[in-house]
Chain A
Amino acid sequence: MQPFEAIVAEHGAVVMRVSRSLLGPVDADDAWSETFLAALRAYPSLRPGSNVRGWLVTIAHNKAVDQIRARQRVPVPAGDLPERLAGEEPGPEPGDTELRAALAGLPPKQQAAVVYRYLADLSYADIAALLDCSQAAARRSAADGIAHLRRHYGKDLS
């Protein structure tokens, strides 16, 4: 079995890409840590020959979904948000924010399929196993998701 350090070295970046795409840069750091801590805990009992990237990406996706749910439960106190100072322009939004908003608008299965396919680079066979559906259904979810994103967010990009 590979030492866990080698797993972090090989898959750290893809987990970060997935976490950022769903949560944004600040919360992504915590989600990344939680993902690898949970993975480290379970790692000795991971079956030999398992798809490690798929396993990590699934944990990362679940952590992100949990965080988003928790965030939605926290009520935003009215009046606590500072007024934007006069003359202060909102800075240019990083592409990341745009992607996050786009992904957040997708139905859960499409969101997972898009993240697994296009950010984590998993095969449709792996995605089908992770989403517990057929390969054809996995392919369809990813295609529908991308089509939705292109329709709503990709107007200036294509």
Chain B
Amino acid sequence: MKSDRQFLTDLADVVDDAALDGLRARLAEQAEADDLLDVAYRTMDSPVGPLLLAATAAGLVRVAFECENHDDVLVELSTAISPRILRSSRRVDDVARQIDEYFAGRRRVFEVPVDLQLSKGFRRAVLTHLLEIPYGGRESYALVARSAGNPGAVRAAGSACANNPIPLVVPCHRVVRSDGTYGQYRGGAEAKHMLLTMEAGA
């Protein structure tokens, strides 16, 4: 005689992933319509590795490199913003398209709303200033500190750049050391080198 569990599972349907994929996509749509989708995200491939793109209703809130571990980043967003996080392309597809164009050399300015809520105070002032550094431009950490309103805070400016939650779109890669060397980058020194070389060659 079969076990009770076997008896019942034999009667139950196998739930296949394909059926659930459709329902999960629908859940994200319904959540958005009901104002319950606090953070929507997707991933994309890029010349600097896979990227995670996350957006609130206000705008792009986080871009993460693979070396940051996307799962860890989602847990951080869950704590810092809201655990109501679902994979959903709609809100971030436009950003993904613009990043593709940027790497293809067809875009110099990102036209997406950004949500700077993950950065406070001076760090936020630094990020706001970074948005003004044009494609192909370079600034020293000292100049960034001065432009953000605190000339003495060079080290803090460096840390604001190193912790920029929206790299690429908020172009912290355009900030370099006064001696011309590249300095640290969230996505790794190699990625920063690649971006600056790409922008210089265009």
Which of the residues A44, A94, A146 comes within 8 Å of B13, measured between beta carbons? A94
A92 within 8 Å of B (CB atoms): no
State whether B12 touches A95 (Cβ < 8 A): yes
Quick one: CB contact mask for A111-127 with B, threshold 8 Å, 1 for yes? 00010001100000000
State whether B84 touches A157 (Cβ < 8 A): no
Quick one: CB contact mask for B19-46 with A, threshold 8 Å, 1 for yes? 1100110110011001010010100000
State whether B7 touches A146 (Cβ < 8 A): yes
State whether A12 touches B23 (Cβ < 8 A): yes
Within 8 A of A (CB), among B109-139: none
CB distance from A34 to the nearest CB of B (A): 9
In the bound complex, what is the Cα–Cα distance between A153 and B24 (angstroms)?
34
State whether B8 touches A32 (Cβ < 8 A): no
Number of B interface residues in the complex (CB < 8 A)? 36
Within 8 A of A (CB), among B74-91: 74-75, 77-79, 82-87
State whether A146 touches B78 (Cβ < 8 A): no
Identify whether the interface residues of B are mostly helix, strand, loop, or mixed: helix
In the bound complex, what is the Cα–Cα distance between A17 and B2 (angstroms)?
20
B15 within 8 Å of A (CB atoms): yes
Report if A2-B27 is in contact (Cβ < 8 Å); known contacts: A16-B19, A37-B36, A44-B84.
Answer: no
Binding site for A on B (CB under 8 A): 1-2, 4-5, 7-13, 15, 17, 19-20, 23-24, 26-27, 30-31, 34, 36, 39, 41, 74-75, 77-79, 82-87
Binding site for B on A (CB under 8 A): 1-6, 8, 12-13, 16-17, 20-21, 25, 29, 32-33, 36-37, 40-41, 43-44, 94-96, 98-99, 102, 114, 118-119, 146, 149-150, 153-154, 157-158
